[in-house]
Amino acid sequence: MRLGLALAALMVLGGCTYPLDKGLLMASPAPEAVKPAAAPGKRIVFTGAGQFTLPDGTTVVADENGGFTLPNGAYVARDSTGSVTLPNGAHCAPDDAGGYVCP
């Protein structure tokens, strides 16, 4: 009986002297700023040859302002933020390759 009490007391007191993990005392690193990934959607790809390839595979000629004329004759202009708004109202943000990502 005494041996059991002595072992229990030793275990309780031994827990008080156990080395503390220093990782628990350090502040967490600040989260890194992550650039949001382009949302999955349709892409208007700039070919690098003065043309855009639309999501359906059609190729249209880019103008000097970054806009283009769709096959149906509708003109799509680039706005001051570098984005384009399609005739259906879809707002397409610029990507890092000269094209656009649409919802």
pLDDT digits (tens), the chain, 103 positions? 676 666 666 666 665 555 555 555 666 677 776 545 545 679 999 998 899 999 999 999 999 888 999 999 999 999 999 999 999 999 999 998 899 999 9
CA distances from residue 99 to 82, 90, 92 in whole angstroms, order as listed = 10, 15, 9
Cβ atoms 54, 60 nearer than 8 A: yes
Q: Phi/psi class of residue 82: alpha, beta or left (left: φ > 0; alpha: ψ in -120 to 50)?
A: left
Domain boundaries, the chain: 42-102
Residues in the chain: 103
Cα-Cα-Cα-Cα torsion 10, 13, 19, 21, nearest 10 degrees, comes to 110
Report pLDDT for 5: 64
Query: pTM for this structure?
Result: 0.59
